Amino acid sequence: MHSSMIEQENGVFPAVCSLDCPDQCGLLLHKEAGKIVKIEGDPNHPVTQGAICNKVRNMTARLYDDKRLQYPMKRVGPKGEGSRFERISWEEAIATITTRWKKQIAEEGPESILPYSFYGNMGRIGTEGMDRRFFNRMGASRLLYSICESAGTEGYKYTMGGSFGTDPEETVHAKLIIMWGINAVSTNMHQVMLAEKARKNGAQIVVIDAHKNQTGRWADWFIPIMPGTDAALALGIMHILFAEDHVDEAFLRQYTVGHEELREHVQQYEPSVVSAITGVPVEDLYRLARLYGQTSPSFIRIGNGIQHHDNGGMCVRTIACLPALTGQWIQRGGGAIKGNGAYLEHNIPALQRPDLRVKEARQINMNLLGSSLLELDPPIHSLYVYNSNPALVAPHANKVREGLRREDLFTVVHDLFLTETAKYADIVLPATSSFENTDFYRSYWHQYVHLQLPVARPYGESKANVDVFRLLAAGMGYEDEALQDTDEDLVRQALNHPGNPALANITYDNLLEKQFMKAEVKPLFPGELRTPSGKIELYSREMEEKGYPALPTYIPLPDEGDLPFLFIPAPNHNFLNSTFAHNEKHVRMEKTPKLHMNEADAASLGLVSGEKVRVWNTRGECELTVAAGSDVLPGVVVSQGLWADSAASGSKALVNALTPDRVADMGGGATFFSGRVHVAKL
Ligand SMILES: Nc1nc2c(c(=O)[nH]1)N[C@H]1C(S)=C(S)[C@@H](COP(=O)(O)OP(=O)(O)OC[C@H]3O[C@@H](n4cnc5c(=O)[nH]c(N)nc54)[C@H](O)[C@@H]3O)O[C@H]1N2
Ligand SMILES: Nc1nc2c(c(=O)[nH]1)N[C@H]1C(S)=C(S)[C@@H](COP(=O)(O)OP(=O)(O)OC[C@H]3O[C@@H](n4cnc5c(=O)[nH]c(N)nc54)[C@H](O)[C@@H]3O)O[C@H]1N2
Ligand code: SF4
Ligand SMILES: [Mo]
């Protein structure tokens, strides 16, 4: 790989997928006349092996979509629907923003400014590098990055000490694979490829989900479950494992704390009790527990679906205890993955420079964006959004939009497209795609680190996040060296991390030569975990001190009144969150936004498949098309995908109009899947 890829008009160039997806595929970009004309998988990538998803195979249409933003703009019409924008220069854009911010900082202080971002591009210098330095230097309000996996990550950490799990490449050796609350066929396709290899060697595949989607259909055994009850199922399995002596006593003694307390504690989770809670028949519960207790190696892939609930943190904490009971962590390919991000942790302080912040600032939970914009005192008077589209993806969308509509809120949005959020902006800035930038990428599932160098020229006048923050720093008069570092400096500083020996060989120079490298990860066992005891904590004193039950526990979802259906608005196959929801090709592949419901429920409401329904609660409403059948249990309805306001289907499928902005039990997490709704024929 060489830095002159931009200059070469034709050829095939290495790249990495920048999307927020565990697989982090190695890619090959085909260029003709300076344009990327084809994207395929890199066959030399050991994990992703040349296979990529349909979304990214069709991504060139997005890169050169004629709706892609080319130059900065200012708003001239009203905010939101009906907004209009006029082209301005970068000089004017930066001057407008920094003039406003200087005034605001002088009058109200920097906490009146809120950066809002997520991982629309997983490149680390662009999503948690120069941006963090800039807002630290400014002293702006801090965002709690809680919209995705934070509840489950915290829950898993209480049990295992951090995001450390099985190396996915080893999972081909498993004889039992449980996909638990993950729609892996759509969201982690290479885990499915690895499971297919294991299946050829005799492995059984079990899927536990609230919805029999493509992943459930692919399973050898699909187990439907009432949403929000998975902790009870896991505790029911533990009850049987202890009762029938399928536990690995030696492993428990050597590597865990609290197994005796746990043995006592799970006696209350009798199969009949668990069955009544989960909807899983008693026979199936025994069959599952015995299968898990008697098959080795066994591997559990813990998805994000189970933790987007009020009880999500405790649920993941509980499931994460299972592999310890049968000693799976020392079996090749056994164990579990919730996330593996901690193995590849780079030097975060060196990249983010918290030392630039002279005064502590308030922290704002991103799941509470709507109420924060509407209710905080002192108020937020400026919002800077990048790498995210909160008007579509954040919970309680109507509140978010009401906040964005405030006339006294100065909003800047930096994106590749005029998103739903950008329509509320005062200033819109055009962003480069990841293939136009330098950045490094580290998967949160496999164990490889990638370097991306620019392959194509910036589209129009678009700029990378890092470049915009350098301009903003200059405009603000911040002279700190840290705000002038080059892209290469940033990557070098982040990868120089004596605290993580797994990255010892992974340097900018080595990556320049090899493009991607596997970290030298030490096996978890034998070894000290990063829990307080250094062992797997089946009993956690730390949790007890924080007011949680010390042992894994089933905590029912809160009561949302007598609305008849629990509503699960999950991701779909052809979009990635709201990315691709604006691209015609992807929308066409996805067809229309549906509402999956049980045929008995449909019949009782007089509904048949294909009919339009109104779905509503006190937070808002949306319109979806019924798909009746046996894919979900009675009392549950499921939609898939975050559809654009302007979807070709003319949909009014803003599913987040219905989702609660309650905060989950841990990590300030989101509760997208714990809301209830009414459904009726339109
Ligand atoms: N194609 C595609 N891929 C993606 C994404 C995308 O939007 N589209 N998004 C990316 C991102 S940011 C993330 S975080 C991941 C998310 O991907 P996953 O980890 O797969 O999580 P979800 O798709 O949110 O939910 C997974 C499953 O949980 C089920 N579910 C919901 N509630 C419950 C419950 O209480 N119990 C059980 N057992 N199941 C439940 C849902 O029906 C769904 O099938 O995918 C990433 N990859
Ligand atoms: N109902 C419901 N809501 C959900 C979920 C769900 O399952 N159900 N899932 C939640 C989850 S898990 C997540 S992670 C969030 C994700 O939500 P977001 O992080 O908002 O993800 P996207 O919708 O993909 O938006 C990313 C935006 O970043 C832009 N972008 C891409 N690259 C760059 C870049 O280099 N620079 C800049 N400035 N912009 C860039 C893209 O064009 C896109 O508009 O959504 C959450 N919302
Ligand atoms: S979205 Fe996921 S599966 Fe698709 S190319 Fe990117 S990393 Fe691979
Ligand atoms: Mo996510």
Q: Reply yes or no on whether the pLDDT at 411 is more than 90.
A: yes
User: Ligand 1 centroid to 187 CA: how many Å?
Assistant: 7
User: Ligand 3 centroid to 51 CA: how many Å?
Assistant: 9
Mean pLDDT on 69-82: 94
Residue 152 confidence class, pLDDT cut points 50, 70, 90:
very high
Q: What per-residue confidence (pLDDT) applies to 4? A: 83
Q: Is 400 in the pocket of ligand 2 (CB under 6 A)?
A: no
The percent of residues above 90 in pLDDT, for the chain, comes to: 98
- Asked whether the beta carbons of 87 and 73 are under 8 A apart, the reply is yes
Residue recorded with tokens 């098309």: 625
Q: Is 189 in the pocket of ligand 3 (CB under 6 A)?
A: yes
Residue 81 confidence class, pLDDT cut points 50, 70, 90:
confident
Q: What per-residue confidence (pLDDT) applies to 646? A: 82
User: Ligand 4 centroid to 4 CA: how many Å?
Assistant: 34
Hey, whose CA ends up nearest to atom 8 of ligand 1?
576
Q: Reply yes or no on whether the pLDDT at 29 is more than 50.
A: yes
Q: Is 331 in the pocket of ligand 2 (CB under 6 A)?
A: no
Mean pLDDT on 30-56: 97
Span 311-332, pLDDT tens digits: 999 999 999 999 999 999 999 9
Q: Which ligand is nearest to the CA of 115?
A: 2
The atom number, within ligand 3, closest to the CA of 18 reads 6
Span 260-313, pLDDT tens digits: 999 999 999 999 999 999 999 999 999 999 999 999 999 999 999 999 999 999
The atom number, within ligand 1, closest to the CA of 119 reads 12
The atom number, within ligand 3, closest to the CA of 54 reads 4
User: Ligand 3 centroid to 577 CA: how many Å?
Assistant: 13
Q: Reply yes or no on whether the pLDDT at 625 is more than 90.
A: yes
Pair type for strands 73-75 and 26-32: unpaired
* Angle 578-668-134 from CA coordinates, rounded to 5°: 70
Residue 538 confidence class, pLDDT cut points 50, 70, 90:
very high
The atom number, within ligand 2, closest to the CA of 126 reads 35
The atom number, within ligand 3, closest to the CA of 189 reads 3
Q: Of 127, 180, 183, which is best to mutate to test ligand 1, by the most ligand atoms within 8 angstroms of its C-beta?
A: 183
160 CB-near residues (< 8 Å, 6+ apart): 320, 529, 531, 536
Q: Of 209, 233, 443, which is best to mutate to test ligand 1, by the most ligand atoms within 8 angstroms of its C-beta?
A: 209
Q: What per-residue confidence (pLDDT) applies to 82? A: 86
Mean pLDDT on 65-80: 95
541 CB-near residues (< 8 Å, 6+ apart): 532, 550
Q: What are the structure tokens assigned to 415, written together?
A: 């994106």
Span 159-176, pLDDT tens digits: 999 999 999 999 999 999
Structural domains present in the chain: 3-63 (3.30.200.210), 73-143+344-518 (3.40.50.740), 166-338+525-545 (3.40.228.10), 565-681 (2.40.40.20)
Q: Is 659 in the pocket of ligand 2 (CB under 6 A)?
A: yes
Helix, strand or coil, per DSSP, at residue 629: strand
User: Ligand 3 centroid to 298 CA: how many Å?
Assistant: 26
Distance between CA atoms of residues 206 and 216, nearest Å: 8
Phi-psi region of 606 (alpha: psi -120 to 50; beta: other; left: phi over 0): left
Residue 150 confidence class, pLDDT cut points 50, 70, 90:
very high
Candidates 446, 417, 416, 575; CA nearest to 54 is 575
Q: Reply yes or no on whether the pLDDT at 439 is more than 60.
A: yes
Q: Reply yes or no on whether the pLDDT at 1 is more than 50.
A: no
Burial 177-213, CB ≥16 within 10 A → b, else e: bbbbbbbbbbbbbbbbbbbeebbeeebbbbbbbbbbb
Mean pLDDT on 368-376: 98
The percent of residues above 70 in pLDDT, for the chain, comes to: 99
User: Ligand 3 centroid to 26 CA: how many Å?
Assistant: 9
Q: Is 674 in the pocket of ligand 2 (CB under 6 A)?
A: no
User: Ligand 4 centroid to 20 CA: how many Å?
Assistant: 7
Q: Is 436 in the pocket of ligand 3 (CB under 6 A)?
A: no
End-to-end CA distance of the chain: 56
Span 216-226, pLDDT tens digits: 999 999 999 99
Alpha-carbon separation of residue 299 from 322, 326, 453, 511, 572 (angstroms): 10, 11, 36, 31, 25
Q: Which residues are near ligand 1 (CB < 6 Å)? A: 20-21, 148-149, 181-183, 186-187, 208-211, 213, 225, 227-228, 230, 303-306, 308-309, 568, 570-571, 573, 575-577, 638, 673
Average pLDDT, the chain: 97
Q: Reply yes or no on whether the pLDDT at 2 is more than 80.
A: no
Residue 664 confidence class, pLDDT cut points 50, 70, 90:
very high
Q: What are the structure tokens assigned to 134, written together?
A: 């800039």
Q: Which range among 175-184, 300-309, 647-656 shows the weakest confidence by mean pLDDT?
A: 647-656
Hey, whose CA ends up nearest to atom 20 of ligand 2?
388
Span 185-227, pLDDT tens digits: 999 999 999 999 999 999 999 999 999 999 999 999 999 999 9
Mean pLDDT on 628-633: 98
3-state helix, strand, coil in the chain (%, to 5): 35, 20, 45
Q: What are the structure tokens assigned to 306, written together?
A: 């189970």
Strands, DSSP E only, in 408-483? 410-415, 427-430, 439-442, 448-452
Mean pLDDT on 114-133: 98
Q: Is 24 in the pocket of ligand 3 (CB under 6 A)?
A: yes
Span 497-526, pLDDT tens digits: 999 999 999 999 999 999 999 999 999 999
